[in-house]
Structure 1
């Protein structure tokens, strides 16, 4: 378990970097240059349409939330859902197939309407589902942006056969731009499917204005001990959470906002149904600790939301989470599966009020840079560079 440096001791804050991917030993380019000037005004709307392939708006989860945020603030974007359910039910499979046919018809009946196809991948299943979409876009000579909402190693591990992994990597080489949520995720991707003609961009998620305007409540005014937001599944580390709560030395209760399974009643946990984002804000700002003991994540928006509310968090040392903790100084890192470390971290944040205040203030200061205007402007700048057929060159910093 390690506590990352506080805000004042963090020398390098998150920056929105773009760099051209080249075949080098490190996997990234070695030549750097100044980035293009970015239009920071929301009025700088693109003169073309962007078709976003993502999840249905009725699905809960981080991918849906981030996609919805971009759609609300970028009128030039249009959503075409390719996923209608997290489980392979017959209805979801049928809807997914019909969605692909509708996608083909949409492009055929609207020639020239879309210049860029923006495809979001959040799981190994998405990597397979989006293969025909990428092929159709490549045949139609559209510019393709592939945005990863999970780490590449999770995608590769989740694909059943080596020839399928090879197929996916070859398909990824057809895209023009690959987008990641953090520099660590870009490094994990390495040069899997990166060619000298492709551009890699690093753009984190943004938070809506209401999160930035949230006032931090002191620890004495918070009436919730611990909160957890996520699916009730092993990859979210729920078993570790339940076991750790039994080892905590101070009396605590955890509110878990999830998809409650039938007949499961873990000790020290209250399983509650999903809540809308407005309720998440209210709950988060009245909690003392957020816990995310996941085995599979990318750059969790829920940690950004916790930082905006001044709520210290405990999360696992995977994917892009170390970037968040290192840059913000707002949380505690533990190893995946470290039940004793998780229990010790809970005890520490529940009893050390000075440490809690430090992490709380660090998070609120850091998250202010992840505002909608700057993130949207970066996306528009990326799209403009795609349309011009060029990308910024940037040297990836050392690990």
Structure 2
């Protein structure tokens, strides 16, 4: 399926644009690239980064979104689903349309991708029909509780809406239902989803994982001392989602990390696994204590496990999580040089990394290297000696 592409771009997306130029020079060996809505969809999918969900019934919705964009958020979802009570759904939809129109008129939406998470298919049509100038602000839709049985109706509606509006609208299905979490039918469902999403590849920006709903199917709510990968039944489903839908052979999609839902102090049962040494070296021990007290050490651990399991970015429901997601997305200088060394070897073989701590194998590491270089284009490469502590403290101070 194809969607119309406008003649002019209304988006100009660049991570860390909110940092001062001298701060960027200090932190980065290579700056992130500036993207437009016409950029490679794989880069746009990676640029989602910390995708912030905002309840669409906020009175100050347009102002709140504009503020977060000015703070460096490159992807925002106006939420009409779980964040909104049934009694407020219609008013929230009108509020979302008004906010998109306002953001388009003021130009505030140019530096971020904006999506709406709908409750029903009817929401999609009402939003597109209600927009005046807001179509320029809208990047697409998020579809909760997406299944192979109902999915094609939503995907076709997005493609048709894009044609009517004269612009490409992307969609992001959320996998969070029993069809995916229940083991007996999972392979059948994921096979059907794989075939369906492939038919609409041009408008599927990324696939999101709704871990909270998947946990809820079994009456589970993961504790803040644990990551989602400690919840075996959900970790198993995530592994299979990546297996079917995240393949690196050209048939896969970007799979985004699930939400981390904690952000306040609590009494800890387990000792933090966030090492003290990196913070001592940067004279940031108090900052580490702040991270631990706000449960952000758990988020950092889950982010690392997300990447290790083939996921990118994160669904975010609290602004304090954004800096952590983006700091860990920056490519280290060591990663970048290892990746470029691997890509330079066209005849195969193996050789030691210039950092003398690992072996780089040209063929098995090639796809990894391509992914690293792609991430470097979106989030940049850290300068020599700059660690995630430097990046995190700089971002958290904004």
> TM-score normalised to the size of structure 1?
0.33
Q: Which has the bigger relative contact order, CA under 8 A and spacing at least 6? A: 1
More helix by share: 2
More strand by share: 1
> TM-score normalised to the size of structure 2?
0.33
